[in-house]
C-alpha cells in the first residue's frame, strides 16, 4: 500500500507520520506500507497526470488532500466513496463545521475523511511589546491595532537578527495561504455566497490581500528572504510577533503568548482542514479504508496531530485537545465560529489563479516597482478567468 | 567500503537509470546524505531571471520530501558564489555548516526543436552546528560524488523528453489515421475529439462549427479530461464582431490582453478549408492551470488543416448521404430509406406484439395541378405537404415520399383509430392551406388529400400485406369521391356488405 502525504514547511509533520506508520507496521506486521511526501503543486500535477494517462501515472492507495479538493477530484472520478467503509465517517464523528463542508450536496456520501486541522493565530512576546502596547488583548484584536504595534516595534528590531514579524509557513513569496486569513477577516472571499461569480476585486477581498501585501511593501516581511535561505525560519525568541497556524514548540519557554488572528470581527476565523482520501483506482481499497479508519482512531490521530502542533478532526479528541490546551481560551475563541474554504469544484483552481497573481505581485514588490494599480489589474485578470471557469464547470 | 580507515566514495555514474527527474533527485539526495552523514540535503533549481533558488526536494531526518520554497541567496554568500562560479562553496553559520554544490548543463531538445533546454541549480548539503564542518577534502569528494550523479540526472531528463517525443510521434501517426478515416459527422467528431484527448490529454476540448445560414457559431461536442464526450449544441454564439470572444477569434479580430494571459493553457484554433473558416477548436487546461507545452501546441496547430478537412469531409459525407436518403423538395425520407426502416419497425412490432399503423396519402388531382398551374406550383404543394407532415408527427413516426405525390407514414405502436386521428388532423390542416398562385383568377389554390390506413396485425401479417391493404383503402377513397380517410377494416366491411345480396355497392367510407 502506498500513501502520498502532503508536504509541510514543518518537518515535524513528516516525522510524525513516519512514526505513525511505524506504529501501524508494528500492529500489523503483515501490512506493507510505504509513503512519499509530495508538494502541493506536485500532488496537483500528479492527480491530473493520472486523469490524462492512468496507466503511466498510477495513483497511490491513499492520498492526503486539502479538504476543499474533495469535490473536484471526486467529480473527476479519482476518489472512492468512504462513507460506509470508514467508521468515523459513517458515525459522523467530526465537529459539525467540518461535516458541513465535507460533501456539499449529499449527506450519505463522503469522498475523504477529515484528518487534522489548524487555524492561523497571532503569537507575541510581551517583553518586546512593553513600551509598544499596553493592553495586547484589546489593541491586537484589530488589524489596525496589530499593524500600528508592528510599526512601533519596527525601529527596535534593527538589532542583530531580531525581526518584528516572522511567518514560519511562508513559501518565500506572498501566497494564498498568507492572504486568505486576512481576506476572511474582512469578510471577503473568492466567490459570492451563491458561487455564481468570482469576487476577487470586491473591496473586502482586494482589501484583505492589500493588507498583507502592504506588510511586504513596507518591509515588515521580507520576500524571497536570503536570511531564511541562509538560516532557516527565525526562531521564536528572535521575533516580536509570529503568525502561525501551529502550536509553537517551547512557546512558553520563549515567553510567547497567543491571540486570535487580528481582525476577525466574529471571533472565529479561517480553519484549514486536511483529509485522507482513497484512490478510486486502488487495487487495495479495503486495506486502504482500514488504514484510514485506524489512523482516525482517537489515540493514533491525537499522537499524530500532537507531533506537529495541530488539532485532530475527530470530535472527541478535538474537544479533549482543546480542554487540555495551555492557550485553551484563545483556541476556544478561534474555533467559536470556524469557517472552512468552500468545497466546490472550481475553488482549488481559483486559488491557483490567485496564487499566480500574487506571485507576479511578489516579484514586483521584490523589484520595488509595485504600484496599487498592479494589484487591481492582476485581480481583474484572475477574476475574469475564475468567472470563465465557473461558466464551464 | 573502507580503506586505511577512511571511507572511499565510489562514483555511481552509469550504474543507474532513473525514470524521470523526481525519482533521480530523491535517490541522489538519499545517497549523498548516507555517504556523507548529512543532517539534510536540498535540491534547488535556479531561476536566473528573478535570481531565485527554488526548492524542489529535501531529505532530512531519514525522510525525503518534495517541498516548494522560493528564496534568494544573499549577495556574496556561499550559495551565490557557487551559482556564479559553478564551483562548490562551503559556509558556516550559527545554524550549522553547509556545502553548496552547483550544476549546470544544457541539452538539445530531442524533439528536434532548435531550443536548448537548460538545467541549472544547486544541491545544498548541511550538518548541524554541533557536528563537524566540511573539510576541504570532504567537500571536494562530496561535490565529485554529486557530479557523477548528475550525469544520471542528464539521462533522466533526456529520458523524460524522449518519452514525450515518442508520444508525439505516435500521436502524429495515429491521429492522421483518425482524421483521414473520419467520415460520418456523428462518429467522426467524436473520433476527432477522442483522438486529441488520447494523445494530448487536455482538461477540455470543444468543437464549434459555423452555421453560415444563420451567422452563428454553434457548439457541437466537448470532451473532458476523462475522455467523456457530450453535446454542447445548446451553445450558440452570434457571429458578429464584439458579440463574444469566440466570434472575434473566428472573425480574425484582436483577442486582447485577456487572451494573452491565457495563451499558455488555452489554444483557440480556427478551422479553415481553402481559406474559408468553418469552425473553431478550443483546447484548454483551465481547470488544472497546467501549461500546454509549446511542442504540443505546435503539433496541434500543424494538425489544424487536417482536422478542418476531416470536419469538412464528414459534413460533406453527411450531406451526400442526406441527398441520397431524403427528398430535397419535401425533406421526407425516400423510398429506399423507408424500405429499410419499414423492415425494422415491422420486425419490432412483430417481436414485441405491438400495433403498427400505415397511412398512405395521395394529393387529390395533383396531375391537374401540375398541368394547370405548372410544376413550380405542384412542387410548392408537395413542399407544404411535407412541412405539414413533419410538424405533426411523433419522434418515432416515419414518413416517406413514396413516389410522385404519394406519401406513406409509418406509425409504430399506433392503432387504426390513432392513425385516423392523425390523418384527420393532416387532412384538415392541408385543406386550410392557401397556396398563392399569382397568375390565376382565384390567386390561390386549395388542395385535399385522400388517405388510406391499414394496421398490423389486424389487416395484414406481412409487410407486403400491410402495404397492399393501405393501398386498397386509398383506392377505395379515390373511387368514392376523394378528400376522405378510410381504414382498411371499414373498407372491408363495406365491401362485404356491398357483395352481400341486396347490398349497396356505392356506400362512402366513414
CA distance A241 to A126: 9
Q: What is the 3-state secondary structure (H, E, C) of A294-348?
A: HHCCHHHHHHHHHHCCCEECCHHHHHHHHHHCCCHHHHHHHCCCEECCCCCCCHH
Smallest Cα distance from A214 to chain B, Å: 20
Selecting from A53, A225, A230 the residue whose C-beta is nearest the C-beta of B201 gives A53
Distance of alpha carbon B213 from alpha carbon A52, whole angstroms: 38
Task: Give the range among A72-76, A85-89, A152-156 with minimum mean pLDDT.
Answer: A152-156
Q: Is pLDDT at B112 greater than 70 in this prediction?
A: no
Residue B3 is predicted with a pLDDT of 37
User: Nearest 5°: CA angle at A290, between A284 and A296?
Assistant: 135
**Cα–Cα distance list, B303 to A218, B30, B196, B219, B279 (Å):** 51, 44, 10, 20, 14
Beta bridge partners of B114: none
Interface of A with B in 225-264 (CB under 8 A): 225-232
Task: State pLDDT tens for residues B370-389.
Answer: 888 888 899 999 999 999 99
User: By mean pLDDT, which of A347-351, B106-110, B336-340 is the weakest?
Assistant: B106-110
> Residues of B with CB below 8 A from A77's CB?
226
Say if B79 is an interface residue toward chain A (CB within 8 Å). Answer: yes
Q: Which of the two residues, A62 and B497, has the higher pLDDT score?
A: A62
| CB contact at 8 A, A175 and A356 | no
Partner residue opposite A14 with nearest CB, options B63, B257, B287:
B63
Mean pLDDT, rounded, for A11-26: 95
Instruction: Inform me whether the C-beta atom of residue B204 falls under 8 Å from chain A C-beta atoms.
Output: yes
pLDDT over 50 (residue B1) = no
Whether chain A has a CB inside 8 Å of the CB on B286: the answer is yes
Q: Is pLDDT above 70 for A244?
A: yes
Confidence at residue B179, expressed as pLDDT on a 0 to 100 scale:
67
Residue of B nearest to A48 (CA): B288
CB contact under 8 A, A229 and B62: no
Q: Give B39 to chain A, closest Cα distance, Å.
A: 13
What dihedral do alpha carbons A50, A55, A56, A58 form, nearest 10°? 50
pLDDT, tens only, B200-209: 889 999 999 9
- The confidence score (pLDDT) of residue B249 equals 87
Residue A384, chain B, CB below 8 Å: the answer is: yes
**Three-state SS annotation for B439-483:** CCCCCEECCCEEEEEEEECCCCCCHHHHHHHHHHHHHHHHCCCCC
Q: Coil, helix or strand for A361?
A: helix
pLDDT tens, position by position, B285-335: 999 999 888 778 888 887 788 788 888 887 787 778 777 888 889 999 999
User: CA dist B134 to A37, A230, B25, B125, B143, Å?
Assistant: 29, 16, 22, 10, 11
Band of the pLDDT at B151, cuts 50, 70, 90?
A: confident
Q: Does B275 touch chain A (CB under 8 A)?
A: no
Return the pLDDT at B4.
40
Which residues of chain B make contact with A44, given a CB cutoff of 8 A? 288
Q: What 3 state SS string does A234-302 have?
A: CCHHHEEEEEECCCCCCCCCCCCEEEECCCCCCCCEECEEEEEEEECCCCCHHHHHHHHHHHCCHHHHH
User: Is the CB of residue B201 less than 8 Å away from at least one CB of chain A?
Assistant: yes
Cross-chain Cβ contact A363/B50 below 8 Å? yes
| Residue A218 pLDDT grade (very low, low, confident, very high; cuts 50, 70, 90) | very high
pLDDT at B258 > cutoff 60: no
Contact across the interface for B289 and A224, Cβ inside 8 Å: no
Identify the three-state secondary structure at position A152: helix
The mean-pLDDT minimum among A274-288, B100-114, B136-150, B288-302 falls in B100-114
pLDDT of residue B224: 92
Indicate if the alpha-carbon torsion angle B335, B339, B344, B345 is positive or negative.
Answer: positive
Compute the mean pLDDT over every residue in chain B, rounded to the nearest whole number: 85
The closest of A316, A271, A280 to A296, measured between CA atoms, is A316
A7 interaction partners in chain B (CB closer than 8 Å): 65-68
In this predicted structure, the answer to whether residue B401 has a pLDDT above a threshold of 60 is yes
Distance in Å, alpha carbon of A77 to nearest chain B alpha carbon: 9
- Mutation for B interface: A10, A52, A237, most B CBs within 10 A: A52
Q: What is the mean pLDDT of residues B198-220?
A: 89
- CB proximity A388 to B under 8 Å: yes
Q: Is B95 in contact with A353 (Cβ distance < 8 A)?
A: no
Interchain contact, A173 vs B66, CB within 8 Å: no
When scoring B21, B29, B61, B66 by the number of chain A Cβ atoms within 10 A, the one with the most, hence best to mutate, is B66
The DSSP element (H or E) to which B206 belongs, if any, is: strand B204-211
ipTM at complex level = 0.90
Instruction: Cell numbers for B161, please give them.
Output: 523528453
pLDDT digits 0-9 by tens, A168-195: 888 899 999 999 999 999 999 999 988 9
Q: Mark yes or no for CB contact A173/B70 under 8 Å.
A: yes
> Which pLDDT does position B6 carry in this prediction?
40
- B67 touching A (Cβ < 8 Å): yes
User: Left, alpha or beta for B26 (phi > 0: left; psi -120 to 50: alpha)?
Assistant: alpha
Size of interface A-B (CB pairs under 8 A): 119
Q: Averaged over A295-310, what is the pLDDT?
A: 96
Determine whether the interchain pair A225/B71 forms a contact, defined as Cβ–Cβ distance below 8 Å: yes
d(CA B197, CA B229) in angstroms, rounded, equals 10
Q: Please enumerate in sequence order all residues whose Cβ is within 8 A of that of B258, keeping only pairs 6 or more positions apart, or say none.
A: A381, A384, B245
Q: Nearest CB to A381: which of B22, B204, B261?
A: B261
Helices (H), B182-288: 185-200, 245-250, 256-262
Amino acid B257: pLDDT: 57
Say whether pLDDT at B364 is over 60: yes
Q: What is the mean pLDDT of residues B221-246?
A: 90
User: Residue B2: is its pLDDT beyond 70?
Assistant: no
C-beta atoms of A389 and B65 within 8 A? no
Instruction: Give the pLDDT of residue B263.
Output: 73
CA distance A370 to A377: 12
Q: What share of chain A has pLDDT > 90, as a percent?
A: 69
Amino acid at each position: 500500500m502506498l500513501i502520498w502525504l502532503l508536504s509541510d514547511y514543518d518537518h515535524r509533520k513528516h516525522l510524525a507520520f513516519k512514526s505513525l506508520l511505524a506504529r501501524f507496521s508494528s500492529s500489523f506486521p503483515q501490512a506493507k506500507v510505504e509513503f512519499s511526501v509530495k508538494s502541493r503543486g506536485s500532488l496537483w500535477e500528479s492527480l491530473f497526470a493520472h486523469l490524462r494517462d492512468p496507466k503511466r501515472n498510477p495513483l497511490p492507495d491513499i492520498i492526503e488532500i486539502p479538504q476543499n479538493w474533495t469535490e473536484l477530484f471526486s467529480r473527476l472520478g479519482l476518489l472512492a466513496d468512504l462513507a460506509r467503509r470508514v467508521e468515523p465517517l459513517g458515525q459522523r464523528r467530526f465537529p459539525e463545521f467540518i461535516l458541513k463542508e465535507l460533501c456539499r450536496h449529499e449527506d450519505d456520501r463522503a469522498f475523504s475523511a477529515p484528518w487534522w486541522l489548524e487555524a492561523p493565530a497571532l503569537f507575541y512576546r510581551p517583553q518586546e511589546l512593553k513600551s509598544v502596547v499596553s493592553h495586547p488583548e484589546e489593541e491586537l484584536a484589530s488589524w489596525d491595532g496589530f499593524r500600528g504595534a508592528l510599526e512601533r516595534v519596527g525601529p527596535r528590531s534593527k538589532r542583530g537578527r531580531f525581526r518584528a514579524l516572522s511567518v514560519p509557513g511562508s513559501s518565500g513569496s506572498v501566497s494564498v495561504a498568507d492572504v486568505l486569513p486576512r481576506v476572511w477577516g474582512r469578510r471577503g472571499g473568492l466567490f459570492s455566497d451563491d458561487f455564481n461569480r468570482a469576487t476577487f476585486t470586491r473591496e473586502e477581498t482586494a482589501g484583505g490581500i492589500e493588507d498583507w501585501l502592504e506588510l511586504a511593501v513596507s518591509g515588515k516581511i521580507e520576500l524571497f528572504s536570503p536570511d531564511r535561505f541562509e538560516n532557516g525560519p527565525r526562531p521564536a525568541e528572535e521575533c516580536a510577533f509570529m503568525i502561525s497556524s501551529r502550536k509553537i514548540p517551547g512557546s512558553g519557554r520563549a515567553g510567547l503568548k497567543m491571540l486570535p488572528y487580528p481582525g476577525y470581527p466574529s471571533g472565529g476565523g479561517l480553519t484549514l482542514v486536511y483529509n485522507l482520501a482513497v484512490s478510486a483506482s486502488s487495487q487495495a481499497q479495503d486495506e486502504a479504508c482500514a488504514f484510514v479508519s485506524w489512523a482516525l482512531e482517537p489515540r493514533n490521530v491525537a499522537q499524530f496531530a500532537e507531533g506537529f502542533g495541530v488539532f485532530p478532526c475527530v470530535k472527541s479528541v478535538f474537544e479533549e485537545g482543546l480542554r487540555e490546551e495551555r492557550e485553551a481560551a484563545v483556541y476556544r475563541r478561534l474555533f467559536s465560529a470556524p469557517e472552512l474554504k468552500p468545497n466546490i469544484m472550481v475553488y482549488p483552481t481559483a486559488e491557483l489563479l490567485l496564487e499566480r497573481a500574487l506571485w507576479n505581485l511578489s516579484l514586483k514588490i521584490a523589484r520595488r516597482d509595485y504600484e496599487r494599480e498592479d494589484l487591481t489589474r492582476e485581480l481583474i485578470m484572475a477574476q475574469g478567468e475564475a468567472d470563465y471557469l465557473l461558466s464551464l464547470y | 567500503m573502507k580503506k586505511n580507515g577512511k571511507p572511499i566514495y565510489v562514483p555511481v555514474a552509469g550504474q543507474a537509470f532513473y525514470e524521470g527527474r523526481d525519482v533521480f533527485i530523491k535517490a541522489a539526495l538519499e545517497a549523498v546524505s548516507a555517504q556523507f552523514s548529512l543532517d539534510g540535503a536540498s535540491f534547488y533549481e535556479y531561476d536566473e531571471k528573478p535570481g531565485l533558488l527554488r526548492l524542489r526536494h529535501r531529505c532530512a531526518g531519514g525522510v525525503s520530501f518534495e517541498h516548494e520554497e522560493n528564496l534568494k541567496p544573499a549577495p556574496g554568500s556561499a550559495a551565490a558564489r557557487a551559482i556564479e562560479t559553478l564551483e562548490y562553496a562551503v559556509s558556516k553559520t550559527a545554524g550549522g555548516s553547509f556545502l553548496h554544490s552547483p550544476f549546470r548543463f544544457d541539452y538539445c531538445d530531442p524533439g528536434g526543436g532548435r531550443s536548448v533546454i537548460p538545467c541549472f541549480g544547486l544541491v545544498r548539503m548541511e550538518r548541524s552546528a554541533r557536528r563537524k564542518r566540511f573539510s576541504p577534502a570532504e567537500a571536494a569528494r562530496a561535490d565529485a560524488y554529486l557530479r557523477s550523479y548528475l550525469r544520471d540526472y542528464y539521462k533522466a531528463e533526456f529520458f523524460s523528453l524522449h518519452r514525450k517525443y515518442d508520444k508525439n510521434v505516435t500521436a502524429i501517426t495515429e491521429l492522421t489515421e483518425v482524421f483521414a478515416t473520419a467520415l460520418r459527422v456523428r462518429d467522426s467528431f467524436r473520433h476527432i475529439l477522442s483522438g486529441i484527448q488520447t494523445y494530448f490529454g487536455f482538461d477540455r476540448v470543444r468543437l464549434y462549427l459555423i452555421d453560415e445560414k444563420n451567422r452563428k457559431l454553434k457548439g457541437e461536442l466537448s470532451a473532458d479530461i476523462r475522455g467523456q464526450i457530450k453535446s454542447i449544441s445548446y451553445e450558440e454564439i452570434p457571429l458578429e464582431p464584439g458579440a463574444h470572444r469566440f466570434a472575434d477569434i473566428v472573425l480574425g479580430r484582436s483577442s486582447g490582453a485577456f487572451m494573452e494571459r491565457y495563451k499558455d493553457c488555452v489554444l483557440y484554433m480556427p478551422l479553415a478549408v481553402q481559406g474559408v473558416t468553418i469552425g473553431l477548436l478550443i483546447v484548454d487546461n483551465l481547470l488544472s492551470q497546467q501549461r500546454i507545452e509549446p511542442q504540443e501546441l505546435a503539433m496541434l496547430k500543424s494538425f489544424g488543416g487536417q482536422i478542418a478537412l476531416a470536419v469538412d469531409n464528414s459534413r460533406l459525407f453527411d450531406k451526400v448521404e442526406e441527398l441520397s436518403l431524403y427528398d430535397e423538395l419535401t425533406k421526407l425520407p425516400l423510398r429506399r430509406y423507408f424500405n429499410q426502416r419499414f423492415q425494422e419497425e415491422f420486425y419490432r412490432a412483430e417481436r414485441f406484439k405491438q400495433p403498427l399503423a400505415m397511412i398512405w396519402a395521395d394529393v387529390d388531382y395533383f396531375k391537374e395541378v401540375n398541368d394547370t398551374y405548372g410544376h413550380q406550383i405542384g412542387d410548392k404543394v408537395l413542399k407544404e405537404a411535407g412541412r405539414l407532415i413533419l410538424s405533426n408527427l411523433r419522434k418515432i413516426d416515419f414518413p416517406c415520399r413514396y413516389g410522385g405525390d404519394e406519401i406513406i407514414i409509418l406509425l409504430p405502436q399506433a392503432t387504426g383509430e390513432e392513425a385516423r386521428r392523425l390523418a384527420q388532423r393532416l387532412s384538415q390542416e392541408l385543406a386550410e392551406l392557401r397556396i398563392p398562385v399569382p397568375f390565376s383568377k382565384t390567386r390561390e389554390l386549395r388542395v385535399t388529400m385522400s388517405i388510406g390506413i391499414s394496421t398490423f396485425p389486424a389487416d395484414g401479417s406481412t409487410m407486403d400485406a400491410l402495404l397492399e391493404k393501405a393501398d386498397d383503402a386509398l383506392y377505395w377513397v379515390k373511387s368514392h369521391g376523394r378528400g376522405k380517410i378510410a381504414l382498411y377494416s371499414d373498407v372491408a366491411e363495406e365491401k362485404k356488405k356491398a357483395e352481400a345480396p341486396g347490398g349497396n355497392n356505392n356506400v362512402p367510407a366513414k
